[in-house]
C-alpha cells in the first residue's frame, strides 16, 4: 500500500508542550454535554429529519437531561430556520435549557441566524465557525493567515452588532479543523475573539476546539487541548469545549483525554452519528463515567426507549455491538464468559442479601459486565445466550432463569455435551424454550417398560400409649403399584426408605438401577428431581420431592 503518500501528523502539527499534566489527572465530574444531533448529526443523514422527527428528538434530549442543545443551522435550510422559530413560539424548550445555533463567519448568514432566534426567551448561544487549518485556508478559502483572521473578526463584530439588543445571547467560536491548525495561530485567533467579545467570568465565551477530521492518536489531541488550556489569555472567562470526530475510531478516547487536559464541555451526538465515521458518542462517554462511579448528569435509565427514538428520528439502525446500547452488549455466548457471569451474579445476590440485612448498599462486581444492565433499564434475559460456543454455565443459567431448574454440576456437564452436538448440527443459537425441550427429551422418560401407577407412604406404627418403652419403633410403610413390562405389581415395603423400596422392587423384576446421587428441588407447587445413575442421568417431576424422586428412578430405567 502507498503509505508514503501520507504525512505523519507529528510533522504537520508540532505542539510546544514538553511537560503535561493530563496523564496523571482524573475525571471526577461530568462535563457540560452538548448534543449536536439536530445540526451536525442531521446534516450527515441521507434523509435529514423532518420537523416532526426534529421535535421528537429535541423532546428526547430534554427528557434525558441535556441542558444545552445545538438545534440547527438556521441559515442553511428553511427546515432548520423554521425549527428554531418553533422554539421561539412555543414552550417545548424548558427555561433551564440553553439553545445553540450555528453559523459561518459571514454577515448575511449571521443576519439570518440572528433573525431565527428573536423571541426565544431561553439563553441562546450563537456559535460561529471558520476553518483555520493550512489545507482549508489554501484550498477551500484561498486566504492567508492575516486575511482569515480579519474574516473571523469581521464575523465576530457582525454578531456583536446584530445581537446588541438581545440580553440572553452568549457567543461560541470554533476554529474548524483546530487539530490540524498551527498551535500559535489558533491561540492567536482565540485570544483575538475573546478580546473582541469581551469575555468575562460572568459572561464567558465558549471556545470549541474540534478534531474535525481525526488524524492522530488521542494523546496528540490531549496535548493540543492542554496547550490551549494553559496559554489562553482569558482562561477564567472561557468555557473550553471539544468536538471530536471518529475517523480513526478513537473519538471517545480523544474526548476523555481532552477532559483530562482541561476541557469543560463536550459536543457530540447521542450515539455518535455524524459525517464519515461519526461525531464522538456522548452516551458512551457519559456511561463510561457512570461505570467509574461518577454522576454522568444524564439519565440513561431507559436506554432502550432512547435507542428506539434515535433510530426512528435518524432512520438509522443501532449496531448490535454499540457500547452500552447495542442489543448484544450485555450478552455472552462464550462458555467461559457465561460461567463467570453466572457465578458472579450468584455471588452478587448473596452479597446483596447480606448487605441489605446490614443496611448497606452493594457495589457491582460481576465478571464481564462493567455495569448492571438493570441500571439502564435492561433485564437479564439476554445476558447469557447459547450457541455452539457456549458451555455448561450458560446452559444452566438459561434453565435456571427461564424455568427455575438448578442442575447439579455433573448434570450440567452431561447436558452441555448434548447441547454442543445439537448446536454444531444446526449452527444456530438455541433459545431457552428450545433448550428446555432438549433437556426434557434427554432426561425425562415417563414412558417405557416401567410405569409407577400409584404410591403411598404412611406411618405404620401404632400409638404406644403408656407402655411406650416396651413398644418397638414405628416404621414407615410404602405401597407401590408398578407396571413393569406390561404386568401390574403391587409391592409393600416396611421400615425402608421409599427410594430403596422402589429400587429393590425393580431389581427383583429384572430392572436394576444403581443410584449415584439424587437431588430434589421444590418449584412452587411442584417438585423436580435430578438422579445420577450408573448409565447417566434422569429427571423426574411430581407434586412433592418424593414423588419427583420416584419418577426419576423409573425414568432411569426407561432411558436404558
Q: Do both 431 and 455 map to the same domain? A: no
d(CA 130, CA 133) in angstroms, rounded, equals 10
CA 132, 134, 136, 137 torsion-angle sign: positive
- pTM (2 d.p.): 0.76
Inter-axis angle of helices 409-426 and 432-443, nearest 10: 110
Displacement of CA 245 from its chain's centroid (Å): 21
| Alpha helix stretches (DSSP H) within 261-334 | 282-291, 303-314
Q: Do both 158 and 293 map to the same domain? A: yes
Tens digit of each residue's pLDDT (9 = 90 or more) over 525-540: 999 999 999 889 999 9
Cell of 145: 493567515
Cell of 225: 487541548
d(CA 440, CA 414) in angstroms, rounded, equals 13
Domain assignment of residue 545, given as a range: 450-459+475-559
Tell whether 322 is covered by a domain: no
Q: What percent of the chain has pLDDT over 90?
A: 68
Tens digit of each residue's pLDDT (9 = 90 or more) over 221-250: 999 999 999 999 999 999 999 999 999 999
Tell whether 328 is covered by a domain: no
Burial class (CB in 10 A: 0-12, 13-18, 19+), 70: buried
Cell of 371: 455495569
Per-residue model confidence (pLDDT) at position 420: 83
Per-residue model confidence (pLDDT) at position 473: 41
With the CA atoms of 482, 483, 489 and 490 taken in that order, what torsion angle do they form, in degrees rounded to the nearest 10? 30
User: Residue 94 phi/psi, 5° resolution?
Assistant: -60, 155
Average pLDDT of the chain is 90
Q: What is the CATH number of the domain that holds 353?
A: 1.10.287.1400
- Banded model confidence at residue 381, pLDDT cuts 50, 70, 90: low
Tell whether 310 is covered by a domain: yes
Q: Do both 430 and 504 map to the same domain? A: no
Per-residue model confidence (pLDDT) at position 70: 98
C-alpha distances (whole Å) from 543 to each of 35, 110, 374, 440, 444 are: 58, 79, 35, 17, 15
Q: Do both 432 and 455 map to the same domain? A: no
Strands in 487-494's sheet, in edge-to-edge order, are: 450-459, 476-484, 487-494
User: Residue 103 phi/psi, 5° resolution?
Assistant: -150, 145
Per-residue model confidence (pLDDT) at position 423: 79
Q: Do both 493 and 364 map to the same domain? A: no
Q: Do both 263 and 138 map to the same domain? A: yes
Q: Do both 282 and 166 map to the same domain? A: yes
Q: Do both 276 and 357 map to the same domain? A: no
- Banded model confidence at residue 386, pLDDT cuts 50, 70, 90: low
Contact yes or no for 177/213 (Cβ under 8 A) = yes
Q: Do both 454 and 438 map to the same domain? A: no
Per-residue model confidence (pLDDT) at position 87: 96
Tell whether 27 is covered by a domain: no
Coil, helix or strand at residue 86: helix
Per-residue model confidence (pLDDT) at position 462: 46
Cell of 493: 415395603
User: How many Cβ atoms are within 10 Å of 74's Cβ, its own excluded?
Assistant: 25
Q: What is the CATH number of the domain that holds 505?
A: 3.30.160.270
Comparing 235 with 508, the larger pLDDT belongs to 235
Mean pLDDT (whole number) for 130-144: 96
Per-residue model confidence (pLDDT) at position 385: 56
Q: Do both 309 and 344 map to the same domain? A: no
Q: What is the CATH number of the domain that holds 42?
A: 3.20.20.70
Tell whether 493 is covered by a domain: yes
Least reliable range by pLDDT among 71-85, 364-378, 428-442: 428-442
Q: Do both 498 and 543 map to the same domain? A: yes
- Banded model confidence at residue 465, pLDDT cuts 50, 70, 90: very low
User: Residue 149 phi/psi, 5° resolution?
Assistant: -60, -45
Structure letter (DSSP) for residue 281: B
d(CA 110, CA 194) in angstroms, rounded, equals 18
Mean pLDDT (whole number) for 151-164: 98
Q: Do both 129 and 166 map to the same domain? A: yes
Per-residue model confidence (pLDDT) at position 27: 97
- Banded model confidence at residue 479, pLDDT cuts 50, 70, 90: confident
Per-residue model confidence (pLDDT) at position 464: 40
Tell whether 329 is covered by a domain: no
CB burial of 479-497 (b: ≥16 within 10 Å; e: otherwise) equals ebebebeeeeeebebeeee
Domain count within the chain: 3
Beta bridge partner(s), residue 284? none
Tens digit of each residue's pLDDT (9 = 90 or more) over 5-56: 888 777 777 899 989 999 999 999 999 999 999 999 999 999 999 999 999 9
CB burial of 320-355 (b: ≥16 within 10 Å; e: otherwise) equals eebbbbeeebbbbbbbebbbbbbebbeebeeeeeee
Pairing, β 476-484 against β 515-523: unpaired
Mean pLDDT (whole number) for 328-342: 80
Q: What is the largest CA-CA distance in the chain?
A: 119
Tell whether 330 is covered by a domain: no
Contact yes or no for 28/294 (Cβ under 8 A) = yes
Tell whether 465 is covered by a domain: no
pLDDT at residue 341 greater than cutoff 90: no
Beta bridge partner(s), residue 244? 211
DSSP H or E segment with residue 268: strand 265-268
C-alpha distances (whole Å) from 425 to each of 399, 417, 418, 553 are: 21, 12, 11, 31
Amino acid at each position: 500500500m502507498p503509505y508514503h503518500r501520507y504525512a505523519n501528523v507529528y510533522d504537520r502539527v508540532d505542539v510546544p508542550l514538553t511537560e503535561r499534566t493530563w496523564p496523571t489527572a482524573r475525571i471526577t465530574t461530568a462535563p457540560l454535554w452538548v448534543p449536536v444531533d439536530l445540526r451536525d448529526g442531521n446534516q450527515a443523514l441521507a434523509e435529514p429529519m423532518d420537523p416532526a422527527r426534529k421535535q421528537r428528538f429535541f423532546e428526547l434530549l430534554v427528557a434525558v437531561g441535556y441542558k444545552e442543545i445545538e438545534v440547527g443551522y438556521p441559515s442553511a435550510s428553511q427546515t432548520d430556520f423554521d425549527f428554531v422559530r418553533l422554539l421561539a413560539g412555543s414552550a417545548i424548550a424548558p427555561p433551564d435549557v440553553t439553545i445553540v445555533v450555528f453559523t459561518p463567519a459571514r454577515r448575511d448568514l449571521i443576519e439570518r441566524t440572528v433573525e431565527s432566534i428573536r423571541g426565544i426567551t431561553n439563553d441562546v448561544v450563537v456559535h460561529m465557525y471558520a476553518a483555520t487549518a493550512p489545507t482549508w485556508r489554501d484550498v477551500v478559502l484561498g486566504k492567508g493567515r492575516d486575511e482569515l483572521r480579519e474574516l473571523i473578526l469581521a464575523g465576530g463584530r457582525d454578531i456583536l452588532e446584530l445581537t446588541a439588543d438581545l440580553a440572553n445571547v452568549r457567543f461560541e467560536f470554533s476554529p474548524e479543523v483546530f487539530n490540524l491548525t498551527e498551535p500559535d495561530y489558533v491561540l492567536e485567533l482565540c485570544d483575538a475573539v475573546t478580546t473582541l467579545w469581551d469575555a468575562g467570568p460572568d459572561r464567558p465565551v465558549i471556545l470549541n476546539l474540534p478534531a474535525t477530521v481525526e488524524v492522530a492518536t488521542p494523546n496528540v489531541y490531549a496535548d493540543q487541548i492542554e496547550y490551549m488550556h494553559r496559554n489562553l489569555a482569558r482562561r477564567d472567562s472561557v468555557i473550553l469545549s471539544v468536538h471530536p470526530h471518529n475517523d480513526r475510531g478513537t473519538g471517545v478516547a480523544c474526548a476523555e483525554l481532552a477532559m483530562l487536559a482541561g476541557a469543560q464541555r463536550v459536543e457530540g451526538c447521542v450515539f455518535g452519528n455524524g459525517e464519515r465515521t461519526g461525531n464522538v458518542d456522548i452516551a458512551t462517554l457519559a456511561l463510561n463515567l457512570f461505570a467509574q462511579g461518577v454522576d454522568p448528569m444524564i439519565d440513561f435509565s431507559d436506554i432502550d426507549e432512547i435507542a428506539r427514538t434515535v433510530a426512528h428520528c435518524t432512520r438509522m439502525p443501532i449496531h448490535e455491538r454499540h457500547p452500552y446500547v447495542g442489543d448484544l452488549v450485555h450478552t455472552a455466548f462464550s462458555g467461559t464468559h457465561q460461567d463467570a457471569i453466572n457465578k458472579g451474579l450468584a455471588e452478587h445476590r448473596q452479597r446483596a442479601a447480606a448487605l441489605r440485612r446490614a443496611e448497606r448498599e452493594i457495589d457491582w462486581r460481576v465478571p464481564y459486565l462493567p455495569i448492571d444492565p438493570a441500571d439502564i433499564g435492561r433485564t437479564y434475559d439476554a445476558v447469557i445466550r447459547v450457541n455452539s460456543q457456549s458451555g455448561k454455565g450458560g446452559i444452566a443459567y438459561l434453565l435456571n432463569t427461564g424455568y427455575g431448574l438448578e442442575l447439579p454440576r455433573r448434570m450440567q456437564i452431561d447436558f452441555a455435551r448434548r447441547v454442543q452436538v445439537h448446536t454444531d448440527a444446526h449452527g444456530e443459537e438455541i433459545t431457552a424454550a428450545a433448550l428446555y425441550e432438549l433437556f426434557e427429551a434427554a432426561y425425562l422418560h415417563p414412558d417405557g417398560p416401567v410405569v409407577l401407577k400409584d404410591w403411598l407412604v404412611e406411618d405404620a406404627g401404632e400409638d404406644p400409649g403408656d407402655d411406650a418403652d416396651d413398644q418397638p419403633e414405628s416404621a414407615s410403610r410404602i405401597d407401590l403399584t408398578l407396571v413393569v413390562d406390561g404386568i401390574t405389581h403391587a409391592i409393600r415395603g416396611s421400615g425402608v426408605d421409599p427410594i430403596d423400596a422402589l429400587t429393590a422392587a425393580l431389581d427383583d423384576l429384572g430392572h436394576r438401577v444403581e443410584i449415584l446421587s439424587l437431588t430434589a428441588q421444590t418449584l412452587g407447587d411442584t417438585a423436580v428431581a435430578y438422579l445420577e445413575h450408573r448409565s447417566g442421568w434422569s429427571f423426574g417431576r411430581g407434586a412433592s420431592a418424593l414423588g419427583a424422586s420416584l419418577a426419576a428412578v423409573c425414568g432411569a430405567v426407561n432411558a436404558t
